[in-house]
Structure 1
Amino acid sequence: MTGSGSAQKPGSQEPPALDPYLEGCPTRRVLDRIGDRWTVLIVGALAEGPRRFTEIRRQVAGISQKMLTQTLRGLEQDGLVTRTVYAEVPPRVEYELTEAGSTLREPLKALEQWSIDHFGDIERSWAAFDERGSA
């Protein structure tokens, strides 16, 4: 469902309506972040509380160090994750969901479960599609 698309009155202090269906809407950047597979898995890994980088990497099998670093930085930039450095030798760094990041857990968990529940149907569709393509 899209917004009304009404134009803003000259001199109005109201921000323009956000509508992710419109090109250039800044909410698309948010959707890009939360729709990313690594974000889904990292938010899930942080659901139980603060984790160190290596703990997250161990839990999210297959993620590279570079991708984990980039995704955590993006989540921090978006205010969804906090990074805390402890003054120890060697320094200890922990990542934790913010209040906003915690609100993502439920919808992203639903996506995880949906992928598990519907994987068999999707896998059959892949096979049928591949069969049609080779016929």
Structure 2
Amino acid sequence: MKFSSLTLLTVGLIFVEIAIVSPRILAQTSSPNSAEIKAQNASKWRKMTEDEKSQALNFILNSPLGIAALNQLAIERFISPICAKTFYIDEKSGGFSTLMRVKCSQPRGVSTAVGYDEIRVIFSRFEDNIENFQIERVSKTEGILGTPLPD
């Protein structure tokens, strides 16, 4: 196939126009600012009651994936009696999504370059079984903030 120089010039101008105009159009569209997103995500989680906390611990201890999450916390030195543990629940998920926050007074973790102030584990459950979990490492000095929480 042979293209004429006029065709190539036209195609090139179209790409240049897209590259210049698209960012301006995107900038003009309204999107929620970061404060709104943080407020929405923070309102997603609430602290668990003592009964809910007991039930969540039961699910964690009786699930292979719950034990795997605890093993990860131990590897990163976040299993300690001096570290505060707080549990949260996402009511919008019907209580099937929970978050365990472990916060220590001294930075911890397996990395020699970065110490983390806290570690969070988000558990996703189906009925009584934990189906998966995510680990979030939080370091305020490094600017790694994690999932917004209400407190």
TM-score of the superposed pair, with normalisation by structure 2: 0.24
- Point out the structure with the larger strand share: 2
- Point out the structure with the larger helix share: 1
